[in-house]
Protein backbone atom coordinates (compact mmCIF):
# COMPACT_ATOMS: atom_id res chain seq x y z
CA UNK A 1 0.00 0.00 0.00
CA UNK A 2 1.15 3.53 -0.71
CA UNK A 3 0.76 5.80 2.25
CA UNK A 4 -0.57 9.20 1.27
CA UNK A 5 -0.29 11.20 4.43
CA UNK A 6 -0.19 10.88 8.17
CA UNK A 7 -3.63 11.69 9.48
CA UNK A 8 -3.49 11.76 13.32
CA UNK A 9 -1.08 11.18 16.12
CA UNK A 10 -2.37 7.62 16.27
CA UNK A 11 -0.77 7.04 12.93
CA UNK A 12 -3.89 6.45 10.84
CA UNK A 13 -2.80 6.24 7.20
CA UNK A 14 -4.88 6.55 4.05
CA UNK A 15 -3.90 3.87 1.67
CA UNK A 16 -4.46 3.74 -2.11
CA UNK A 17 -5.54 0.13 -1.65
CA UNK A 18 -8.35 1.06 0.68
CA UNK A 19 -11.57 -0.72 -0.24
CA UNK A 20 -13.83 1.48 1.82
CA UNK A 21 -16.30 3.66 -0.07
CA UNK A 22 -19.16 5.75 1.19
CA UNK A 23 -21.49 8.38 -0.21
CA UNK A 24 -23.15 11.57 0.91
CA UNK A 25 -26.68 12.55 -0.03
CA UNK A 26 -27.45 16.24 -0.38
CA UNK A 27 -30.70 18.18 -0.24
CA UNK A 28 -31.65 20.39 -3.24
CA UNK A 29 -28.90 22.95 -3.78
CA UNK A 30 -30.99 25.96 -2.85
CA UNK A 31 -34.66 26.08 -1.92
CA UNK A 32 -35.09 29.04 -4.26
CA UNK A 33 -33.82 27.05 -7.22
CA UNK A 34 -36.12 24.06 -6.94
CA UNK A 35 -39.01 25.28 -9.06
CA UNK A 36 -40.05 28.08 -11.40
CA UNK A 37 -43.37 29.94 -11.48
CA UNK A 38 -44.33 31.72 -14.69
CA UNK A 39 -46.77 34.65 -14.87
CA UNK A 40 -47.81 36.09 -18.23
CA UNK A 41 -49.12 39.67 -18.23
CA UNK A 42 -51.01 40.98 -21.24
CA UNK A 43 -51.16 44.68 -21.98
CA UNK A 44 -48.90 47.45 -20.71
CA UNK A 45 -45.60 46.87 -19.00
CA UNK A 46 -45.47 48.29 -15.48
CA UNK A 47 -42.33 47.11 -13.74
CA UNK A 48 -42.59 50.00 -11.32
CA UNK A 49 -45.83 48.64 -9.89
CA UNK A 50 -44.57 45.06 -10.04
CA UNK A 51 -41.32 45.64 -8.17
CA UNK A 52 -40.74 49.07 -6.72
CA UNK A 53 -43.88 49.36 -4.65
CA UNK A 54 -43.19 46.08 -2.88
CA UNK A 55 -42.23 46.10 0.76
CA UNK A 56 -39.76 43.66 2.12
CA UNK A 57 -37.63 41.91 -0.50
CA UNK A 58 -34.30 43.51 -1.45
CA UNK A 59 -33.60 43.28 -5.15
CA UNK A 60 -30.62 43.74 -7.40
CA UNK A 61 -31.91 44.55 -10.88
CA UNK A 62 -29.79 43.86 -13.96
CA UNK A 63 -30.57 45.21 -17.41
CA UNK A 64 -28.79 46.58 -20.48
CA UNK A 65 -28.52 50.08 -21.92
CA UNK A 66 -30.90 49.43 -24.86
CA UNK A 67 -33.65 48.10 -22.61
CA UNK A 68 -33.13 50.86 -20.02
CA UNK A 69 -33.82 53.40 -22.78
CA UNK A 70 -37.12 51.83 -23.96
CA UNK A 71 -40.20 54.04 -23.46
CA UNK A 72 -41.88 51.12 -21.67
CA UNK A 73 -39.10 51.28 -19.06
CA UNK A 74 -39.30 55.06 -18.46
CA UNK A 75 -41.46 54.93 -15.33
CA UNK A 76 -39.26 52.25 -13.77
CA UNK A 77 -36.00 53.99 -14.71
CA UNK A 78 -37.04 57.41 -13.34
CA UNK A 79 -36.73 56.27 -9.75
CA UNK A 80 -33.02 55.60 -9.58
CA UNK A 81 -30.15 57.83 -8.49
CA UNK A 82 -26.88 57.00 -10.17
CA UNK A 83 -24.28 55.71 -7.74
CA UNK A 84 -21.35 54.72 -9.93
CA UNK A 85 -20.50 54.80 -13.62
CA UNK A 86 -17.96 52.62 -15.40
CA UNK A 87 -17.07 52.04 -19.01
CA UNK A 88 -20.19 50.65 -20.73
CA UNK A 89 -22.53 50.92 -17.77
CA UNK A 90 -23.61 52.30 -14.44
CA UNK A 91 -25.11 51.29 -11.13
CA UNK A 92 -27.87 53.08 -9.26
CA UNK A 93 -29.81 52.77 -6.04
CA UNK A 94 -33.40 53.35 -4.95
CA UNK A 95 -34.25 52.74 -1.30
CA UNK A 96 -33.34 49.16 -0.43
CA UNK A 97 -32.84 48.13 -4.10
CA UNK A 98 -29.92 48.42 -6.52
CA UNK A 99 -29.70 48.45 -10.30
CA UNK A 100 -26.90 47.75 -12.74
CA UNK A 101 -27.14 48.71 -16.41
CA UNK A 102 -24.64 46.89 -18.63
CA UNK A 103 -23.79 47.29 -22.31
CA UNK A 104 -26.22 45.63 -24.76
CA UNK A 105 -25.49 42.48 -26.76
CA UNK A 106 -23.45 39.29 -26.83
CA UNK A 107 -20.08 41.08 -26.60
CA UNK A 108 -20.96 42.11 -23.04
CA UNK A 109 -21.62 38.54 -21.92
CA UNK A 110 -18.33 38.40 -20.02
CA UNK A 111 -17.16 37.14 -16.66
CA UNK A 112 -16.09 40.73 -15.86
CA UNK A 113 -19.70 41.87 -16.20
CA UNK A 114 -20.98 38.91 -14.17
CA UNK A 115 -18.57 39.93 -11.42
CA UNK A 116 -19.77 43.56 -11.63
CA UNK A 117 -23.22 42.26 -10.71
CA UNK A 118 -21.79 40.31 -7.78
CA UNK A 119 -19.77 43.34 -6.75
CA UNK A 120 -22.85 45.57 -6.66
CA UNK A 121 -24.57 43.07 -4.36
CA UNK A 122 -21.57 43.17 -2.05
CA UNK A 123 -21.24 46.99 -2.22
CA UNK A 124 -24.90 47.30 -1.26
CA UNK A 125 -24.53 44.85 1.63
CA UNK A 126 -27.08 42.47 0.16
CA UNK A 127 -27.61 39.23 2.05
CA UNK A 128 -28.25 35.80 0.62
CA UNK A 129 -31.98 36.54 0.71
CA UNK A 130 -31.62 39.29 -1.93
CA UNK A 131 -33.34 38.52 -5.24
CA UNK A 132 -31.27 38.98 -8.40
CA UNK A 133 -33.75 40.23 -11.00
CA UNK A 134 -32.85 40.24 -14.70
CA UNK A 135 -34.78 42.51 -17.06
CA UNK A 136 -33.46 41.58 -20.46
CA UNK A 137 -32.78 39.15 -23.23
CA UNK A 138 -30.88 35.89 -23.03
CA UNK A 139 -27.58 37.66 -22.38
CA UNK A 140 -28.80 39.53 -19.29
CA UNK A 141 -30.81 36.54 -17.97
CA UNK A 142 -27.86 34.12 -18.36
CA UNK A 143 -25.41 36.50 -16.65
CA UNK A 144 -27.74 37.49 -13.81
CA UNK A 145 -28.48 33.87 -12.92
CA UNK A 146 -24.76 33.04 -13.04
CA UNK A 147 -24.01 35.95 -10.68
CA UNK A 148 -26.82 34.81 -8.36
CA UNK A 149 -25.48 31.24 -8.36
CA UNK A 150 -22.13 32.52 -7.08
CA UNK A 151 -23.18 35.23 -4.65
CA UNK A 152 -22.76 33.86 -1.13
CA UNK A 153 -22.99 30.37 -2.69
CA UNK A 154 -26.39 30.99 -4.20
CA UNK A 155 -29.15 33.58 -4.10
CA UNK A 156 -32.59 33.58 -5.67
CA UNK A 157 -33.04 34.82 -9.23
CA UNK A 158 -36.08 36.07 -11.16
CA UNK A 159 -36.37 37.07 -14.83
CA UNK A 160 -38.36 39.57 -16.83
CA UNK A 161 -37.41 38.29 -20.30
CA UNK A 162 -37.62 41.11 -22.86
CA UNK A 163 -36.78 39.36 -26.16
CA UNK A 164 -38.90 36.76 -27.92
CA UNK A 165 -35.92 34.42 -27.78
CA UNK A 166 -35.59 34.78 -24.02
CA UNK A 167 -39.34 34.23 -23.56
CA UNK A 168 -39.58 31.09 -25.68
CA UNK A 169 -36.18 29.65 -24.83
CA UNK A 170 -33.39 31.24 -22.74
CA UNK A 171 -35.40 32.16 -19.63
CA UNK A 172 -36.73 28.62 -19.22
CA UNK A 173 -34.55 25.76 -18.08
CA UNK A 174 -31.93 27.00 -15.67
CA UNK A 175 -28.82 27.24 -17.84
CA UNK A 176 -26.81 30.27 -16.76
CA UNK A 177 -23.37 31.48 -17.76
CA UNK A 178 -21.26 33.73 -19.92
CA UNK A 179 -18.80 33.55 -22.79
CA UNK A 180 -15.09 33.05 -22.06
CA UNK A 181 -11.93 33.07 -24.17
CA UNK A 182 -14.00 33.45 -27.35
CA UNK A 183 -16.08 30.37 -26.56
CA UNK A 184 -19.83 30.82 -26.16
CA UNK A 185 -21.29 29.89 -22.78
CA UNK A 186 -18.02 28.25 -21.74
CA UNK A 187 -18.55 28.87 -18.03
CA UNK A 188 -21.76 28.77 -16.07
CA UNK A 189 -24.03 26.81 -13.81
CA UNK A 190 -27.46 25.26 -13.76
CA UNK A 191 -29.32 27.88 -11.72
CA UNK A 192 -33.02 28.28 -12.58
CA UNK A 193 -35.05 31.39 -11.94
CA UNK A 194 -37.66 31.03 -9.25
CA UNK A 195 -40.09 33.35 -10.99
CA UNK A 196 -40.54 34.46 -14.60
CA UNK A 197 -42.63 37.56 -15.34
CA UNK A 198 -43.62 37.59 -19.02
CA UNK A 199 -44.78 40.79 -20.71
CA UNK A 200 -45.25 39.82 -24.38
CA UNK A 201 -45.61 43.57 -25.09
CA UNK A 202 -41.80 43.81 -24.90
CA UNK A 203 -41.69 41.99 -28.25
CA UNK A 204 -43.23 45.04 -29.97
CA UNK A 205 -40.05 47.09 -29.66
CA UNK A 206 -37.66 44.37 -30.86
CA UNK A 207 -35.71 45.04 -34.06
CA UNK A 208 -36.76 42.69 -36.87
CA UNK A 209 -33.65 40.48 -36.75
CA UNK A 210 -34.13 39.92 -33.00
CA UNK A 211 -37.80 39.14 -33.55
CA UNK A 212 -36.96 36.60 -36.27
CA UNK A 213 -34.36 34.99 -34.04
CA UNK A 214 -37.00 34.22 -31.44
CA UNK A 215 -39.44 33.18 -34.15
CA UNK A 216 -37.03 30.56 -35.50
CA UNK A 217 -36.73 28.99 -32.03
CA UNK A 218 -40.53 29.08 -31.70
CA UNK A 219 -40.92 27.30 -35.06
CA UNK A 220 -38.38 24.72 -33.89
CA UNK A 221 -40.47 24.19 -30.75
CA UNK A 222 -43.56 23.69 -32.91
CA UNK A 223 -41.84 20.95 -34.95
CA UNK A 224 -40.59 19.28 -31.78
CA UNK A 225 -43.69 19.40 -29.61
CA UNK A 226 -46.80 21.06 -31.02
CA UNK A 227 -48.78 20.36 -34.17
CA UNK A 228 -51.21 23.08 -33.06
CA UNK A 229 -48.45 25.69 -32.94
CA UNK A 230 -47.22 24.49 -36.33
CA UNK A 231 -50.72 25.04 -37.72
CA UNK A 232 -50.62 28.60 -36.37
CA UNK A 233 -47.32 29.16 -38.19
CA UNK A 234 -48.86 27.78 -41.39
CA UNK A 235 -52.16 29.64 -41.23
CA UNK A 236 -51.48 32.93 -39.39
CA UNK A 237 -48.32 34.22 -40.99
CA UNK A 238 -49.66 37.76 -41.44
CA UNK A 239 -50.66 38.04 -37.76
CA UNK A 240 -47.37 36.57 -36.62
CA UNK A 241 -45.28 38.95 -38.70
CA UNK A 242 -47.50 41.87 -37.62
CA UNK A 243 -46.80 40.80 -34.00
CA UNK A 244 -50.50 40.65 -33.15
CA UNK A 245 -50.73 40.45 -29.36
CA UNK A 246 -53.03 37.42 -29.12
CA UNK A 247 -50.96 35.25 -31.48
CA UNK A 248 -47.73 36.33 -29.79
CA UNK A 249 -49.11 35.40 -26.40
CA UNK A 250 -50.15 31.99 -27.75
CA UNK A 251 -46.71 31.34 -29.26
CA UNK A 252 -44.89 32.45 -26.12
CA UNK A 253 -46.91 30.47 -23.64
CA UNK A 254 -46.99 27.32 -25.83
CA UNK A 255 -43.19 27.40 -26.23
CA UNK A 256 -42.49 28.18 -22.58
CA UNK A 257 -44.75 25.33 -21.47
CA UNK A 258 -43.20 22.89 -23.96
CA UNK A 259 -39.67 23.72 -22.86
CA UNK A 260 -40.73 23.57 -19.20
CA UNK A 261 -41.96 19.98 -19.65
CA UNK A 262 -38.71 18.90 -21.34
CA UNK A 263 -36.60 20.50 -18.65
CA UNK A 264 -38.63 18.79 -15.94
CA UNK A 265 -37.95 15.47 -17.63
CA UNK A 266 -34.25 15.99 -18.32
CA UNK A 267 -32.84 19.02 -16.46
CA UNK A 268 -29.15 18.29 -17.02
CA UNK A 269 -29.50 17.30 -20.70
CA UNK A 270 -28.77 13.59 -20.50
CA UNK A 271 -31.25 12.73 -23.25
CA UNK A 272 -34.49 14.39 -24.45
CA UNK A 273 -33.41 17.96 -23.64
CA UNK A 274 -30.85 17.57 -26.44
CA UNK A 275 -33.75 17.51 -28.94
CA UNK A 276 -34.03 21.28 -28.41
CA UNK A 277 -30.90 21.42 -30.56
CA UNK A 278 -32.90 20.54 -33.70
CA UNK A 279 -31.23 22.46 -36.54
CA UNK A 280 -28.48 23.71 -34.22
CA UNK A 281 -25.66 21.40 -35.35
CA UNK A 282 -25.90 22.94 -38.83
CA UNK A 283 -26.60 26.40 -37.38
CA UNK A 284 -23.54 26.52 -35.13
CA UNK A 285 -21.36 25.31 -38.00
CA UNK A 286 -22.74 28.02 -40.30
CA UNK A 287 -22.34 30.72 -37.65
CA UNK A 288 -18.69 29.86 -37.07
CA UNK A 289 -17.72 29.01 -40.69
CA UNK A 290 -19.23 32.24 -42.06
CA UNK A 291 -17.66 34.35 -39.30
CA UNK A 292 -19.46 35.07 -36.02
CA UNK A 293 -22.15 37.74 -36.38
CA UNK A 294 -22.57 37.41 -40.18
CA UNK A 295 -25.66 35.18 -39.99
CA UNK A 296 -28.03 35.78 -37.08
CA UNK A 297 -28.59 32.81 -34.78
CA UNK A 298 -32.28 32.55 -35.71
CA UNK A 299 -31.59 32.61 -39.45
CA UNK A 300 -28.91 29.95 -38.94
CA UNK A 301 -31.28 27.75 -36.90
CA UNK A 302 -34.02 28.02 -39.53
CA UNK A 303 -31.57 27.08 -42.31
CA UNK A 304 -30.26 24.25 -40.11
CA UNK A 305 -33.76 22.87 -39.61
CA UNK A 306 -34.20 22.69 -43.37
CA UNK A 307 -30.89 20.85 -43.74
CA UNK A 308 -31.86 18.44 -40.97
CA UNK A 309 -35.14 17.68 -42.77
CA UNK A 310 -33.32 17.00 -46.05
CA UNK A 311 -30.86 14.75 -44.22
CA UNK A 312 -33.68 12.91 -42.54
CA UNK A 313 -35.30 12.29 -45.91
CA UNK A 314 -32.00 11.22 -47.51
CA UNK A 315 -31.54 8.67 -44.74
CA UNK A 316 -35.05 7.31 -45.25
CA UNK A 317 -36.23 8.51 -41.84
CA UNK A 318 -39.00 10.92 -42.83
CA UNK A 319 -41.47 11.25 -45.68
CA UNK A 320 -40.92 13.52 -48.66
CA UNK A 321 -44.07 15.38 -47.55
CA UNK A 322 -42.56 16.23 -44.12
CA UNK A 323 -39.41 17.56 -45.79
CA UNK A 324 -41.23 19.51 -48.51
CA UNK A 325 -43.71 21.07 -46.11
CA UNK A 326 -40.93 22.25 -43.82
CA UNK A 327 -38.88 23.70 -46.68
CA UNK A 328 -41.93 25.50 -48.06
CA UNK A 329 -42.82 26.95 -44.66
CA UNK A 330 -39.25 28.14 -44.10
CA UNK A 331 -39.20 29.75 -47.55
CA UNK A 332 -42.57 31.37 -46.89
CA UNK A 333 -41.06 33.09 -43.83
CA UNK A 334 -38.07 34.10 -45.98
CA UNK A 335 -35.55 31.83 -44.33
CA UNK A 336 -32.92 30.30 -46.59
CA UNK A 337 -33.45 26.72 -47.69
CA UNK A 338 -30.63 26.24 -50.22
CA UNK A 339 -27.95 23.63 -49.60
CA UNK A 340 -25.37 26.41 -49.72
CA UNK A 341 -26.29 29.35 -47.49
CA UNK A 342 -25.64 32.71 -49.18
CA UNK A 343 -23.32 33.63 -46.29
CA UNK A 344 -20.93 31.00 -47.75
CA UNK A 345 -21.18 32.38 -51.30
CA UNK A 346 -17.49 33.34 -51.35
CA UNK A 347 -16.56 29.63 -51.34
CA UNK A 348 -17.04 26.93 -53.96
CA UNK A 349 -19.68 24.33 -52.97
CA UNK A 350 -16.89 21.85 -52.20
CA UNK A 351 -15.04 24.31 -49.96
CA UNK A 352 -18.19 25.49 -48.22
CA UNK A 353 -19.42 21.98 -47.45
CA UNK A 354 -15.98 20.89 -46.18
CA UNK A 355 -15.71 23.96 -43.93
CA UNK A 356 -19.16 23.30 -42.48
CA UNK A 357 -18.43 19.60 -42.00
CA UNK A 358 -15.20 20.42 -40.13
CA UNK A 359 -17.08 22.88 -37.92
CA UNK A 360 -19.74 20.26 -37.19
CA UNK A 361 -17.12 17.69 -36.20
CA UNK A 362 -15.84 20.07 -33.51
CA UNK A 363 -18.99 19.60 -31.44
CA UNK A 364 -17.75 18.26 -28.12
CA UNK A 365 -20.46 15.60 -28.00
CA UNK A 366 -19.14 13.75 -31.05
CA UNK A 367 -17.19 10.67 -30.12
CA UNK A 368 -15.81 9.57 -33.51
CA UNK A 369 -15.76 10.76 -37.12
CA UNK A 370 -19.54 10.81 -37.33
CA UNK A 371 -21.64 13.81 -36.31
CA UNK A 372 -24.42 13.73 -33.75
CA UNK A 373 -27.58 15.18 -35.32
CA UNK A 374 -31.09 15.72 -34.03
CA UNK A 375 -33.44 14.41 -36.72
CA UNK A 376 -37.16 13.87 -37.02
CA UNK A 377 -39.16 11.07 -38.58
CA UNK A 378 -42.27 13.29 -38.42
CA UNK A 379 -43.55 16.31 -36.50
CA UNK A 380 -43.07 15.62 -32.76
CA UNK A 381 -41.09 12.43 -33.53
CA UNK A 382 -37.46 13.17 -32.77
CA UNK A 383 -34.28 11.22 -32.04
CA UNK A 384 -30.51 11.61 -31.95
CA UNK A 385 -28.64 9.98 -34.83
CA UNK A 386 -24.94 9.55 -35.57
CA UNK A 387 -24.47 10.58 -39.18
CA UNK A 388 -21.49 9.70 -41.38
CA UNK A 389 -19.50 12.54 -43.00
CA UNK A 390 -20.57 11.50 -46.52
CA UNK A 391 -24.23 11.89 -45.58
CA UNK A 392 -23.53 15.33 -44.10
CA UNK A 393 -21.78 16.39 -47.32
CA UNK A 394 -24.78 15.21 -49.29
CA UNK A 395 -27.08 17.81 -47.73
CA UNK A 396 -24.48 20.59 -47.83
CA UNK A 397 -23.44 19.93 -51.41
CA UNK A 398 -25.80 17.54 -53.22
CA UNK A 399 -23.46 17.49 -56.23
CA UNK A 400 -20.93 15.59 -54.09
CA UNK A 401 -23.09 12.47 -54.55
CA UNK A 402 -22.42 12.13 -58.28
CA UNK A 403 -18.74 13.00 -57.81
CA UNK A 404 -18.29 10.49 -55.00
CA UNK A 405 -20.11 7.72 -56.89
P1 LIG B 1 -29.71 39.73 -26.08
O2 LIG B 1 -29.99 39.56 -24.65
O3 LIG B 1 -28.36 40.21 -26.45
O4 LIG B 1 -30.80 40.70 -26.72
C5 LIG B 1 -30.66 41.04 -28.06
C6 LIG B 1 -30.67 42.56 -28.26
O7 LIG B 1 -32.02 43.03 -28.12
C8 LIG B 1 -29.85 43.33 -27.26
O9 LIG B 1 -29.18 44.37 -27.92
C10 LIG B 1 -30.88 43.92 -26.30
O11 LIG B 1 -30.45 45.13 -25.74
C12 LIG B 1 -32.04 44.13 -27.21
N13 LIG B 1 -33.34 44.08 -26.57
C14 LIG B 1 -33.73 43.27 -25.57
N15 LIG B 1 -35.03 43.43 -25.31
C16 LIG B 1 -35.48 44.38 -26.15
C17 LIG B 1 -36.76 44.96 -26.39
N18 LIG B 1 -37.85 44.56 -25.71
N19 LIG B 1 -36.87 45.91 -27.34
C20 LIG B 1 -35.78 46.30 -28.07
N21 LIG B 1 -34.54 45.76 -27.90
C22 LIG B 1 -34.41 44.82 -26.95
O23 LIG B 1 -29.93 38.36 -26.90
P24 LIG B 1 -31.11 37.29 -26.98
O25 LIG B 1 -31.30 37.04 -28.42
O26 LIG B 1 -32.27 37.62 -26.14
O27 LIG B 1 -30.43 36.03 -26.32
C28 LIG B 1 -29.26 35.46 -26.87
C29 LIG B 1 -28.46 34.89 -25.73
O30 LIG B 1 -29.27 33.93 -25.05
C31 LIG B 1 -27.19 34.18 -26.15
O32 LIG B 1 -26.15 34.63 -25.34
C33 LIG B 1 -27.48 32.71 -25.88
O34 LIG B 1 -26.33 32.00 -25.49
C35 LIG B 1 -28.48 32.78 -24.76
N36 LIG B 1 -29.37 31.62 -24.68
C37 LIG B 1 -29.47 30.99 -23.50
C38 LIG B 1 -30.29 29.89 -23.37
C39 LIG B 1 -30.42 29.21 -22.04
O40 LIG B 1 -31.00 28.12 -21.99
N41 LIG B 1 -29.94 29.80 -20.97
C42 LIG B 1 -31.02 29.43 -24.47
C43 LIG B 1 -30.91 30.12 -25.68
C44 LIG B 1 -30.08 31.22 -25.78
Closest C-alpha to ligand 1, atom 4: 137
Q: How far apart are CA 240 and CA 332, in angstroms?
A: 12
pLDDT digits (tens, 9 = 90+) for 37-63: 999 999 899 999 899 877 689 999 999
Q: Is the pLDDT of residue 133 over 60?
A: yes
- 393 membership: H or E segment, kind and range: helix 389-396
Say how far apart CA 357 and CA 281 lie, in whole Å: 10
67 lines ligand 1 (CB under 6 A): yes
pLDDT value of position 362: 81
Q: Is the pLDDT of residue 31 over 70?
A: no
Give the SS3 label for residue 21.
Answer: coil
* Cα-to-centroid distance, 90 and ligand 1 (Å): 20
Q: Which residues lie closer than 8 Å to 146 by C-beta, 6 or more apart?
A: 114, 176, 177, 178, 187, 188, 189, 191
Q: How far apart are CA 162 and CA 63, in angstroms?
A: 10
Q: In sequence order, which residues have a C-beta less than 8 Å from that of residue 211 and are 6 or more positions away? A: 164, 203, 243
Instruction: Tell me if 173 CB under 6 Å of ligand 1.
Output: yes
Atom of ligand 1 nearest to the CA of 184: 34
* pLDDT at position 369 over 90: no
Strands 371-378 and 381-387: antiparallel
Most confident of 76-80, 97-101, 290-294: 97-101
Q: How far, in Å, is the centroid of ligand 1 from the Cα of 165?
A: 6
Say if CB 61 and CB 93 are below 8 A apart.
no
Alpha carbon distance 68, 76 (integer Å):
9
The model's pLDDT over 201-242, given as tens digits with 9 standing for 90+, comes to 999 999 999 999 999 999 999 999 999 999 999 999 999 999
| pLDDT score of 25 more than 90 | no
> In this model, does residue 5 exceed pLDDT 60?
no
As a whole number of angstroms, the distance between CA 317 and CA 382 comes to 10
State the distance from the centre of ligand 1 to the C-alpha of 354, rounded, in angstroms: 31
* CB-ligand 1 contact for 140 (6 Å cutoff): yes
Q: What's the mean per-residue pLDDT of the chain?
A: 91
pLDDT at 16 over 60: no
| Residue 75 to residue 49: CA distance in whole angstroms | 9
**Residue 395: predicted pLDDT:** 97
d(CA 46, CA 323): 44
Is the minimum distance from the CB of 113 to ligand 1 under 6 angstroms? Answer: no
CA of 69 to the centre of ligand 1 (A): 16
| pLDDT above 80: residue 26 | no
DSSP-based three-state secondary structure for 16? coil
Residue pLDDT, tens place only, 166-195:
999 999 999 999 999 978 889 999 999 999
Question: In angstroms, what is the span from residue 308 Cα to ligand 1's centroid?
Answer: 25
- Residue 150's pLDDT band, with cuts at 50, 70 and 90, is very high
pLDDT band of 6, cuts 50, 70, 90:
very low
Provide the b/e sequence for 296-309 (b: ≥16 CB within 10 Å). Answer: ebbbbbbbbbbbbb
* Pocket residue to mutate for ligand 1, from 145, 170, 204, most atoms within 8 A of Cβ: 170
* DSSP reduced 3-state for 249: helix
Amino acid sequence: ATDLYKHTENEVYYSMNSAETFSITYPAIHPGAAHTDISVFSGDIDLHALFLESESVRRIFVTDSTIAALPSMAHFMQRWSTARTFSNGFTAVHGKDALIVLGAGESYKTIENVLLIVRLAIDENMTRSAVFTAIGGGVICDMTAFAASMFKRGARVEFVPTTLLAMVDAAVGGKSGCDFLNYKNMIGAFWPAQQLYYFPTFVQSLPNDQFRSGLAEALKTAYLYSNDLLTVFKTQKADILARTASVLQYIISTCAKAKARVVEEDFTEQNVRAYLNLGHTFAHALESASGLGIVSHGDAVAWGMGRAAVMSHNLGLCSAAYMQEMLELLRDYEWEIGAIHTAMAAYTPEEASQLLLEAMKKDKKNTDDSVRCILQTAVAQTAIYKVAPKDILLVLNPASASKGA
